[in-house]
A = this chain, B = another copy of it.
Amino acid sequence: MARSWLDIDPSSDFSLANIPFGIISTPDDPSPHVGIAIGTYVLDLKILASQIGAENLLPDAAQSQTDVFAQPTLNAFAELGRPVHRHVRSQIQHLLSKDTTRPELLKNNVELREKALVPQQRVQMHLPMSIGDYTDFYAGYHHAYAVGVMFRGPQNALQPNYTHLPVGYHGRASSIVVSGTPVRRPVGQILLDPKAEPKQPTVASSRRLDIELELGCFITKSNALGQPVSIGEAEEHVFGYVLLNDWSARDIQTWEYVPLGPFNGKNFATTISPWVVLADALEPFRVKGIENSTPVQEYLKEKKEETVYDIQLEVDLTTPEGNTTTITKTSGKNLMWSFPQMIAHHTLGGCPLRSGDLLGSGTISGPVPEQSGSLLELSEGGKREIQLNGGTESRTFLKDGDTVTLRGFCVGKEGERVGFGECTGRVQG
């Protein structure tokens, strides 16, 4: 892997091997537009594209498209397709490489460097895409099993369909927010005494506010209504990945979710990280997912064996007083279904996925309880206190003022790090 002429700390998520795309606004240009993250900087692609010329950034066929970097979302860029993303990422890597063959473009162009490279703390991040539809899957087998036991007992923990298809449901696009957005604790109908008959709900603030550690996948190439995407084509429909926190009010969810699925227990906020890590940047980190002993249908069969990514995932909980505890560590490999399988299944009946649509993986938990991606699991349904650092405080579910931060990164063979940055949100009462 080449090194950059920029000084990049080895612990940075944004190495030269990454080059994630996001929507930024800067003090000099407050209208949202496109940038990439590199080390502690953002490289402003709107400025760069206007200065170095399209021929140094875009492939021949897309050189009229420099205005995609001036757009307030990544949708137009995503629609150009993966070969274009691959080219642009590679060009940016060359420009930022110590041994670039065109140092005059950026490396030695002090004026452009000063304009186009902005320290990240001076940049505001926005939602990366205009999200038409959001679907949340349930591919984290260990989570599905553990939660199934709590909701329905060990006999019915997993429904018979679970190993035959990637179970998913339609989520709410309007409440997807970018990392840093405060999350209001939702009011809803809850059963204070679930055993009393007749059942009598109360309207109150959720007492069981939880997180779900997930990966989000953005769609790049649309399929038309009635035109399924085959499993072989599915990867070409992936733009890239983000971290996703599917905030969940367990008490609201428990009362409302039969028979049509989660609703107000999930639609008050879903937080995503601002930088979209391109699918290509994760290629070196492919691994096998959780084995499925059930033979799957032809339309779900993948040629590759390594269909998920070994992304190291962590969740920090920071109390209102500023005490931070890493409450879980797991890996993105803990999925029984891959995103290409989700895409093939989602479109099997002809449902159109559009550029900018978001798929959630489902909560990612490891095989042992300490690797759980939700407080519901970590606290065993609220029965066990999760000890925080220092030993004086604990949690079952979230308190007002708590901040939850997801992190995710891969480390390559030469130490190059490909990470997502933070996906964070603070609970407001």
Contacts A160-B199, A226-B184; is A260 near B349 (CB within 8 Å)? no
Interface centre among A152, A249, A256 (most CB of B within 10 A): A256
A257 contacts across to B, CB distance below 8 A:
259-261
Interface centre among A168, A177, A428 (most CB of B within 10 A): A168
Would you call the interface of chain A mostly helix, strand, loop, or mixed?
loop
Contacts A187-B228, A187-B349, A249-B349; is A299 near B203 (CB within 8 Å)? yes
A342-355 vs B, Cβ < 8 Å mask (1 yes, 0 no):
00011011111110
Contacts A184-B225, A264-B349; is A173 near B138 (CB within 8 Å)? no
Task: Give the shortest distance, in Å, between A220 (CB) and chain B (any CB).
Answer: 15
Q: Is A26 an interface residue (CB 8 A)?
A: no
Task: Give the shortest distance, in Å, between A42 (CB) and chain B (any CB).
Answer: 26
Residue of B nearest to A222 (CB): B174
Q: Is the CB of A177 within 8 A of B263?
A: no
A100 contacts across to B, CB distance below 8 A:
none
Q: Is A267 an interface residue (CB 8 A)?
A: yes
Q: How far is the CA of A269 from the CA of B255 in the complex (A)?
A: 29
Q: How far is the CA of A195 from the CA of B181 in the complex (A)?
A: 48
Q: Is the CB of A159 within 8 A of B348?
A: no
A268-308 vs B, Cβ < 8 Å mask (1 yes, 0 no):
11000000000000000000000000000111000000000
A173 contacts across to B, CB distance below 8 A:
132-133, 173
Q: How far is the CA of A226 from the CA of B262 in the complex (A)?
A: 18
Q: Is A186 an interface residue (CB 8 A)?
A: yes
Q: Is A221 an interface residue (CB 8 A)?
A: no
A184 contacts across to B, CB distance below 8 A:
225-226, 350
Q: Is A258 an interface residue (CB 8 A)?
A: yes
Q: Is A416 an interface residue (CB 8 A)?
A: no
Q: Is the CB of A260 within 8 A of B258?
A: no
Q: Is A172 an interface residue (CB 8 A)?
A: yes
A179-202 vs B, Cβ < 8 Å mask (1 yes, 0 no):
001001011110000000011010
Q: Is the CB of A152 within 8 A of B203?
A: no
Q: Is the CB of B225 within 8 A of A175?
A: yes
Q: Is A165 an interface residue (CB 8 A)?
A: yes
Residue of B nearest to A299 (CB): B203
Q: How far is the CA of A222 from the CA of B115 in the complex (A)?
A: 38
Q: Is the CB of A261 within 8 A of B261?
A: yes
Task: Give the shortest distance, in Å, between A234 (CB) and chain B (any CB).
Answer: 15
Q: Is A87 an interface residue (CB 8 A)?
A: no
7 A-B pairs within 8 Å (CB atoms) are namely: A132-B174, A151-B259, A159-B259, A188-B349, A226-B268, A261-B262, A268-B349
